[in-house]
Chains A and B, each alone.
Chain A
C-alpha cells in the first residue's frame, strides 16, 4: 500500500513569508507526528496528533509554528513569518496506534529560508 507522502518536497521561502507543509499519512493510521531535522542532526519531535486531537505540541519551537489535522487524516504544518533558523527538513510520520507502535516516515519537506 501507499506510504506516508509529503508535499512539497522542496520549498524555498524568503524570510518573513508564511509556508504550509502537507502530510498524507498511511490510511487508517490513528497517530501522526511531525519532526524537524537540522543538517547533520537526528530528527527532533515537534507535535503529535491522535486522530484530530493535538495531544502534544511541546516540541514546537515558537508560536510561529502551528499544526492541524482537522479530519483526522491529512495534516498541515504552518510556519508564519519564516526565519533563517527554520531552515531544515520537516518529516511526518504515522503509526497505527497511540503508543508503542511502529512509526513510518514520509520523505520530508526540505525548507530553505533565504
Chain B
C-alpha cells in the first residue's frame, strides 16, 4: 500500500514563529487532506488539496502531486495551534484515507 511520511515528527515553536510541515507519499493520489488533531482528539479539516496551493488565514498548503509531496505552512503561530498535524491521502481505487505519521507541534509563550 501507499506509504505516507511526515516531518519533522516533533516541533516546538515560540508564539509568533513560522513553520513548515512536510508530507511525502510514495504513489500518485486522488485526494490529500491536512488535519489538525486538537488536544481533545477532534480531527479538524484544514485543507483538501490533491494539487495546487490554498490559503486560509495564517495557514497555507501546497501539494506538488508530480513530485509526491505536500507542505503545510503555519505563520505567526499561536498556542491554540498546538496539537498533532496529520497528512492523509487516498490512492488508487480505494476510497479510504491512509494517514501519515503525524507532526506533534507545541507552541509556547
Contacts and interface: CB of A to CB of B under 8 A. Distances in A.
**Do the two chains bind?**
yes
Contacts, number: 61
Helix, strand, loop or mixed for chain B's interface?
loop
A102 interface: yes
A107 B44 CA distance: 10
A91 B43 contact: yes
B98 interface: yes
Interface string B71-109: 000000000000000101010011111111110000000
Interface residues of B, number: 24
Interface residues of A, number: 27
14 contacts: A31-B95, A33-B95, A33-B96, A43-B97, A43-B99, A56-B94, A89-B41, A99-B31, A99-B90, A99-B95, A100-B31, A100-B90, A103-B33, A110-B41
